[in-house]
C-alpha cells in the first residue's frame, strides 16, 4: 500500500495507538490527532514530587492480546514491555472483617474459598472449566465485527446455546456458589465494565476466568508504559502524532473525509475515531444518538504517602455492607452511595520505582452514578466518602493515612467530560448489558460513510485494554 494513502486517527488512547501501529506497519500514511498534550487517553500519568500516578486502567489481563499487536507489527512484546505476573491477584475485604485472598496459585485460592464456603473447591474448578470453555469460544470472536445482519447467519445461532446470553453474570455464579460472599467475589469484575453483575450477560465471566487462570500482570514502570510503548512503535513504523490538536468536525466529502483540526481543514482518505464513540457521533459528526444505556462513573483519589504502609496488596477490594443497595444506588437510583464499595490500587507493592524511596501510592476508585440524569452529587458527599474510605483503611492496616499524605490529586465524574469528552461522564463508555453487547454493540464501521471507522471501549468488541486492542485489529482488517 502506497504511503500516499492518508488515514487520520482521532484520539491517541490505547485503541487509537494500536490501530496506528498496525496501519503504519501495513504501509499506510497515518496521522494521529490528540486534543491532550500526551498519549494514552484515560491511561495517562500524573507526576508529582516523585510520585507517578497511573490515572486509568490498573492491571493487565489476557496478555495474548497485547502480544498479538506487537507480533502483527513484526516485534516481540518482551522487547517493549516488562510484564510482571503478581503472586497475589487481589484481596477482598468484606464488611464483617473477613477477607479473601486470590492467589496466582489456583490451589491456594481454592483453599481460601473453602475457608469461606465449605465444599466450594470442586465448584470452583467446575466454574473455571465452564468459563474456560466460554473463553475458548469467545476469544476468536473478539477479532470479528458483527452486525445485526450477522444474526441471519445460521452459523452464529450455535453461539447462543454456548454463551447463554440470557443468563446474567450473577445467575451463573449462583449456580456454583451458595454464599453471597463468593458470588460477589466471582462477579465484581462487572463493576469494572461499568455495569451491575445482575445485568451483565454471563459470557463476561471470561474476565473472572482470565484473572484466575491466566493471572494478573503489572507493566514495570506503570500502566502508562503501555500507551508510551505503542506510541514509540507507531512512530518507528512511520506514523506522525499531533498533540494539543482537537478535532471538532468531520464530514464525508466526495470519496474522502474532511477533518477540522484546530480550526484548520485537512483531507484524508479514511478516518478512524478513537475518541469516545458517542462524542464522535453526536458532537463531531453531528448525528443523533439512540437512547443508550451508559456505564457508571467513578470518583478517583490519588495519594502519595510519606511512608510505606503494610496490610494492603497490589489490588484490594472493599465491599459495602449492603452490596445490593450499593449497586441499586449506582445503576438505578443514580445517586452516590453513602456506603460505597471501592477499590484500592497500591502499585508500589510491586513496582517501587513509581514513588520516592520508602514511600507508597494509593489509587482509590469509588464507582458512582453517571451524569445522564443530571449533575453529580459527589462534591456534596465527598468529605463523608473520604472519611468512610480512610476509616476502613485504618481498620485494616491500623494506621491513619490522612496525615501521611504528601501528594494528592482527585478526579470527578465531570472531569471525564471536560478532559476526555466522554458522554455522561460514563467512565467505561456504553454499558455492557445484553442489548449493548456482541451483535448489538455499535459496529466498527460507519453505516453512512465507507471511509469512517471506530475503535474504543463503546464499540465492538467492548471495553478493557486487551479487548480494545482486539478492536484495533478489526478496524485494520476492515480498512485493508
DSSP 163-204: H-TTSBHHHHHHTT--SHHHHHHTTGGGGGGTS-TTTSBGGG
Whether residue 390 sits in one domain with residue 332:
yes
Q: What is the pLDDT of residues 417-456, one digit of tens each?
A: 999 999 999 999 999 999 999 889 999 999 999 999 999 9
Position 81 in a domain: no
Among 286, 295, 248, CA closest to 433: 295
Cβ burial of 263 (10 Å; 0-12, 13-18, 19+) is exposed
pLDDT of 279 strictly over 80: yes
C-beta separation of 299 from 412 below 8 A: yes
- The whole-angstrom separation of Cα 444 and Cα 16 is 13
Q: What pairing do the DSSP bridges indicate for beta strands 83-85 and 217-219?
A: antiparallel
Whether residue 101 sits in one domain with residue 204:
yes
Position of cell 460477589? 184
Position 328 in a domain: yes
pLDDT of 258 strictly over 90: yes
Q: How many domains does the chain have?
A: 3
- The whole-angstrom separation of Cα 114 and Cα 126 is 14
* Res. 414 pLDDT band, cuts 50 70 90: very high
The predicted pLDDT at position 466 comes to 97
C-beta separation of 250 from 258 below 8 A: yes
Position 358 in a domain: yes
pLDDT of 14 strictly over 90: yes
Position 449 in a domain: yes
302 upstream amide cis, omega within 30 of 0: no
Whether residue 206 sits in one domain with residue 230:
no
Locate 439 and state its grid cell: 451483535
Q: Could you tell me the residue range of the domain that residue 286 belongs to?
A: 6-68+222-292+431-479
Q: Which residues contact 233 (CB under 8 A, 6 or more apart)?
A: 21, 70, 73, 75, 80
C-beta separation of 220 from 353 below 8 A: yes
Whether residue 132 sits in one domain with residue 101:
yes
End-to-end distance of the chain based on CA atoms, in angstroms? 9
Whether residue 132 sits in one domain with residue 197:
yes
Among 330, 266, 338, 341, CA closest to 297: 330
Whether residue 144 sits in one domain with residue 99:
yes
Q: Average the pLDDT over 296-322 and give the result.
A: 97
Locate 113 and state its grid cell: 474459598
Whether residue 198 sits in one domain with residue 167:
yes
Whether residue 52 sits in one domain with residue 91:
no
Residue spans of alpha helices (H) in 215-276: 225-236
Whether residue 208 sits in one domain with residue 98:
yes
Position 406 in a domain: yes
Q: What is the DSSP string of 308-319?
A: --SS--SEEEE-
The predicted pLDDT at position 286 comes to 97
Position 417 in a domain: no
Cβ atoms < 10 Å from Cβ of 64: 12
* Res. 150 pLDDT band, cuts 50 70 90: confident
Whether residue 203 sits in one domain with residue 110:
yes
Q: Which residues in 11-124 belong to E strands, given as ranges? A: 29-33, 45-48, 51-54, 83-85, 88-93, 99-103
The predicted pLDDT at position 11 comes to 98
Cβ burial of 174 (10 Å; 0-12, 13-18, 19+) is middle
* Res. 256 pLDDT band, cuts 50 70 90: very high
Whether residue 206 sits in one domain with residue 228:
no
Position 230 in a domain: yes
Mean pLDDT of the chain: 95
Among 413, 400, 391, 408, CA closest to 339: 391
pLDDT of 314 strictly over 50: yes
| Cα 58 → chain centroid | 9
* Res. 4 pLDDT band, cuts 50 70 90: low
* Res. 2 pLDDT band, cuts 50 70 90: very low
- The whole-angstrom separation of Cα 321 and Cα 16 is 40
- List the CATH number of the domain containing 57: 3.50.50.60
Q: Average the pLDDT over 191-207 and give the result.
A: 91
Position 311 in a domain: yes
Question: Strand 360-368's sheet: what is its strand order?
Answer: 99-103, 88-93, 315-318, 342-345, 360-368, 297-305, 405-411
- The whole-angstrom separation of Cα 296 and Cα 87 is 30
Among 161, 211, 151, CA closest to 186: 211
Whether residue 359 sits in one domain with residue 320:
yes
Q: What is the DSSP string of 415-434?
A: HHHHHH--GGG-TTSB---G
Amino acid at each position: 500500500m502506497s504511503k500516499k494513502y492518508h488515514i487520520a486517527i482521532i484520539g491517541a488512547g490505547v485503541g487509537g495507538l494500536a490501530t496506528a501501529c498496525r496501519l503504519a506497519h501495513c504501509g499506510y500514511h497515518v496521522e494521529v490527532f490528540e486534543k491532550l498534550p500526551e498519549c494514552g487517553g484515560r491511561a495517562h500519568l500524573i507526576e508529582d514530587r516523585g510520585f507517578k500516578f497511573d490515572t486509568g486502567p490498573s492491571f493487565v489481563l489476557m496478555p495474548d492480546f497485547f502480544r498479538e499487536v506487537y507480533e502483527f507489527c513484526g516485534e516481540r512484546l518482551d522487547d517493549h514491555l516488562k510484564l510482571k505476573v503478581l503472586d497475589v491477584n487481589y484481596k477482598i475485604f468484606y464488611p464483617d472483617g473477613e477477607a479473601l485472598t486470590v492467589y496466582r496459585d489456583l490451589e491456594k485460592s481454592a483453599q481460601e474459598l473453602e475457608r469461606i464456603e465449605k465444599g466450594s473447591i470442586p465448584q470452583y474448578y467446575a466454574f473455571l472449566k465452564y468459563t474456560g470453555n466460554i473463553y475458548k469460544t469467545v476469544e476468536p470472536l473478539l477479532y470479528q465485527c458483527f452486525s445485526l445482519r450477522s444474526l441471519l447467519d445460521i452459523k452464529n445461532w450455535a453461539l447462543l446455546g454456548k454463551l447463554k446470553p440470557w443468563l446474567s453474570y450473577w445467575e451463573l455464579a449462583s449456580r456454583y456458589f451458595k454464599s453471597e460472599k463468593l458470588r460477589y467475589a466471582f462477579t465484581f469484575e462487572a463493576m469494572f465494565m461499568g455495569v451491575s453483575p445482575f445485568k451483565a450477560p454471563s459470557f463476561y465471566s471470561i474476565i473472572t476466568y482470565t484473572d484466575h487462570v491466566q493471572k494478573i500482570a503489572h507493566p514495570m514502570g506503570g500502566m502508562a508504559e503501555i500507551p508510551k510503548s505503542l506510541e514509540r512503535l507507531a512512530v518507528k513504523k512511520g506514523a506522525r502524532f499531533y498533540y494539543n490538536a482537537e478535532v471538532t468536525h468531520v464530514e464525508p466529502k466526495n470519496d474522502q473525509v474532511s477533518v477540522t483540526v484546530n480550526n484548520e481543514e485537512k483531507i484524508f482518505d479514511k478516518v478512524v475515531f478513537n475518541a469516545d464513540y458517542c462524542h464522535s457521533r453526536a458532537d463531531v459528526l453531528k448525528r443523533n444518538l439512540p437512547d443508550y444505556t451508559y456505564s457508571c462513573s467513578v470518583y478517583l483519589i490519588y495519594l502519595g504517602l510519606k511512608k510505606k504502609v503494610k496490610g494492603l496488596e497490589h489490588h484490594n477490594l472493599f465491599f459495602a455492607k449492603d452490596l445490593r443497595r450499593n449497586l441499586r444506588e449506582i445503576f438505578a437510583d443514580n445517586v452516590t452511595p453513602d456506603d460505597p464499595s471501592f477499590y484500592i490500587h497500591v502499585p508500589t507493592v510491586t513496582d517501587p520505582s513509581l514513588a520516592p524511596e520508602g514511600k507508597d501510592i494509593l489509587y482509590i476508585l469509588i464507582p458512582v452514578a453517571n451524569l445522564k440524569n443530571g449533575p453529580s452529587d459527589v462534591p456534596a458527599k465527598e468529605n463523608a466518602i473520604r472519611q468512610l474510605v480512610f476509616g476502613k483503611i485504618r481498620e485494616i492496616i491500623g494506621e491513619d493515612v490522612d496525615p501521611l499524605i504528601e501528594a494528592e490529586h482527585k478526579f470527578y465524574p465531570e472531569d471525564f467530560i471536560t478532559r476526555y469528552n466522554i458522554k455522561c461522564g460514563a467512565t467505561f463508555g456504553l454499558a455492557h448489558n445484553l442489548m449493548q453487547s456482541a451483535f448489538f454493540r455499535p459496529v466498527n464501521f460507519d453505516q453512512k460513510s465507507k471511509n469512517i471507522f471506530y475503535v474504543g471501549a463503546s464499540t465492538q468488541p467492548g471495553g478493557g485494554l486487551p479487548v480494545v486492542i482486539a478492536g484495533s485489529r478489526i478496524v485494520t482488517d476492515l480498512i485493508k
